[in-house]
Chains A and B, each alone.
Chain A
Amino acid sequence: MRRPKITEWRIIAQTAWLLVLSSALLGVPYFSSGPWTKNIFWPNLSTRFLIYNPTTSFLYQIQSRLSSGWESYYVTIVIPLVIFILLVIVLGRVWCGWLCPMGFLQDILLRIRKRLGIPYSEVSPKAVLVLNQTGYVILFLISFISFAVGVTFLGMNNFFSRAELPFEMVAPPRPITIFLQQVLGWESWDAAIPLPGLIIALAIIALSFKVRHFWCRICPAGAMMSLLNRKALVSIEKDGTKCTKCRVCLRACPMDIEEIYEEKELDNVTNPTCIHCYRCVELCPENGCLSVKFLNKTLTMSKYPYSRNVKGVVK
């Protein structure tokens, strides 16, 4: 029997998580009103506008709690922050590659493009760096605007009604989610979609079709997780002595991470921008050169195709 490849496991996980998020499909439409799930706040990008959503993302918490004003001394942000750090320490950016619906959407676009035989647009190493920094800029703007409209002394609280949740006005998940819900008949067709958000969503869909995982490169939630990615309990390890520098890992990487190819000394090669899709581990042809580890326990490792039984390579 052919072993399911990592990419296939990933699609299963992404689908399952999407079902949990839209718990209506599981027959529990009011799961969202449950007592404890509301306080989990998952770390990856999402939107408040998913109707039967059991909880919201940490990014949404930043916006709503910072814009609530000075009076609370922002103590309310502490618990979501602690939960965020714990979840990211455990799973790193596995949240991006295995669970995030936005990542799933980009994977679907990537597979459609592959099926159509259209090559992806390469991103130059310089552009990769610039895009990776963009996430932090967006994150700063979100935090600053949320803070500014919440306090009086900056004179921006007049915009409160318009920019209470600044990121929700421009974030691509909102229009996409609302549209899907309208198609499913969960929402009426005159639900409000902000125009900037709609334009950005369409642009991101078009870009992600041609550039591999374009949104993940500039995602503010991803940028936050990047800070803890290398410290996470789940990691990609490399045995530098087994590496033949064949460059397969770099070519396969949807985030164009050079570290996995260049590194020969360090064991942990989990780059901050790595979304843990493990395409490199799946394709690396050297036995045991790359491996996925969780708390020093090896979950999977690279194998030469003949022992892996990849399609087209007979045993």
Chain B
Amino acid sequence: MSLLGGKKKEQEIDSKRISGLAAVKRRYVTTRILEDTATKRNQIISGMKSMIEDELKKLQSLPVRAQSMAYFDDIARFYGRREKEVREFKDSGGKVVGSLCMFAPNEIIAASGALPIRFCSGFHETTGPANMILGDAGLCPLVKSTLGLEMTDSSPYLSMCDLLVAPTPCDAKLKLGEILQDFLPVLMLNVPKIKAGEVNRKQWAEELGILMDKLEALTGKKIKKNDLKNSIEIYQRAYSAWRELTDLRREADVLWGRDTLMIAQLTNYDDIRRWTENVHKLIAELKKMKEEGKSVVREDVPRIMLAGSPVIWPNWKIPDIIEESNALIVVDELCSATRALTNPVVVDEYTMRGMIDAVSERYLYPCTCPCFSPNLERDDNLLNRIKEFRVDGVIFHVLKGCHLNALDATRIKRILEEAEIPMFTIESEYEMGDYQQIKLRLEAFLEMVRAEVVF
């Protein structure tokens, strides 16, 4: 459905926007490189599996852990139960549509009957193969890892993907979408970097119109008004469940921050309805724990907010260091967790246009991705959350190569100085090489915060 142009113009955009493996010669990834990586494949997959298992072992050994977490642990195993389900769905003729960023609207993808899956990768094993072709060692590790997943064919979900939606918030994601065209049909979505003005709003809605056309062509089925309405409501329920969980965590420390971040991450590939049900089960159990007066930590433990670049499961390096140093992540400001799930799609009129507008505005306006300028909402949101969750200190995580977050950190640090909230900016890689150094520095910061909490 086009909002501005006619049918002909639409087709022109389409043919320019999308290209497939068969149609285009590989521009980045040559066959020789792929042969090199293919030999490493099994080694990489076993590395990834052991990474997940190690992390899960750590989480499962946490004291005072709700039993309902068992479901999430099961799904968190990337391979296994969920992989089998998606394969069954795919074999029965369903389409799998991947996306590279939280700007891709799951509501619209799900409305077409396709299964939306997000492909931000947290595996450090796959950054190596990506480095072979990129020639930019300083590039964002998240992007390198995701590219490596496809190059080594080690993600079961990526190999089942029929279409990849690649929004372009930053340079790294822009080029990731371009390089992945060597493997998959990719639809790039142009994210406006300045929110003000009617032109940008309409442009973004138009981008989503192109996405809808593409999905309709893929599934061979028109997206009807009720399809979109149902899928919006399914996601509204998921967002409400998340908000209820967040509200509960504000009142009582009954859930570890690491667990919370993991639950949020599972929306990337889990069945959203089942996820919602299980979050409600967890909430019920946590409420009981709250009534019994249980708490995961002692009372005087520093309450930490984790902000900045996305932290993707199972790259739990930073959350682990924080919570193992006797602190609690009470709230986060990551696009991989809270920011992806907090804002509901609020529909004013359930007409087709009304719903597309609601979805497009939900993904653009309340988003505080540092790719926007000005990004003043981010400062307000941070301050508001710090107040609501009684945060003692902010740890601002910057992935190496994420210039946008590094620059936002500079501004936010000044604002938090005024509010007298200590903030610490930490730069990290996916590889474990910088583990000891980060641990040392974070522990020093947490010790300082603790001193302020106690005295």
Chain A residues within CB distance 8 Å of chain B: 114, 117-120, 124-125, 240-248, 251-252, 264, 279, 283, 285, 304-306, 312-314
Contacts and interface: CB of A to CB of B under 8 A. Distances in A.
B46 interface: no
B198 A285 contact: no
B325 interface: no
B240 interface: yes
Contacts of A117: 225, 350-352
Give the dominant DSSP class at B's interface: helix
A205 B254 CA distance: 57
13 contacts: A114-B350, A114-B351, A117-B225, A117-B350, A120-B349, A124-B198, A247-B361, A247-B365, A285-B343, A304-B344, A305-B346, A306-B241, A306-B243
A267 B240 CA distance: 28
Interface stretch (B116-124, B143-151, B380-388, B391-399): B380-388
B365 A245 contact: yes
Interface in B341-363: 342-344, 346, 348-354, 357-358, 361-362
B233 A246 contact: no
Interface string B209-247: 000000000000000010000000100110011011000
Given A119-B351, A125-B198, A313 B366 contact: no
Nearest to B387: A241
9 closest A-B pairs by beta carbon, nearest first, are: A119-B353, A306-B240, A246-B366, A247-B365, A312-B233, A244-B366, A252-B348, A248-B346, A119-B351
B324 interface: no
B346 A314 contact: no
A246 B339 CA distance: 12
A10 B358 CA distance: 24
A283 B357 CA distance: 15
Interface string B59-76: 000000000000000000
B171 interface: no
A279 B366 CA distance: 19
A3 to B, nearest CB: 16
Nearest to A304: B243
B361 A242 contact: no
A314 B362 contact: no
Nearest to B366: A246
B351 A251 contact: no
B377 interface: yes
B377 A313 contact: no
Contacts of A283: 346, 348
A166 B357 CA distance: 42
B346 A119 contact: no
Contacts of A305: 236, 240, 344, 346
Nearest to A110: B349
A114 B365 CA distance: 24
Interface of B: 195, 198, 225, 233, 236-237, 240-241, 243-244, 342-344, 346, 348-354, 357-358, 361-362, 365-366, 377, 380-381, 383-384
A313 B380 CA distance: 27
Contact of B381 (A244, A279, A304, A314): A244
Contacts of B357: 251
A246 B134 CA distance: 37
B384 A241 contact: yes
Contacts of A312: 233, 236-237
Contacts of B380: 240-241, 243-244, 264
Given A241-B384, A247-B365, 6 more contacts: A119-B351, A119-B353, A245-B365, A246-B361, A252-B348, A279-B348
A199 B173 CA distance: 57
A114 B240 contact: no
Nearest to A283: B346
Nearest to B342: A244
Nearest to B280: A314
A93 B349 CA distance: 24
A251 B344 contact: no
A285 B346 CA distance: 8
A241 B236 contact: no
A251 B233 contact: no
B365 A313 contact: no
A37 to B, nearest CB: 38
Contacts of B381: 244
A49 to B, nearest CB: 34
A118 B351 contact: yes
B349 A313 contact: no
Contacts of B354: 119
Contacts of B346: 246, 248, 252, 283, 285, 305
Nearest to A111: B349
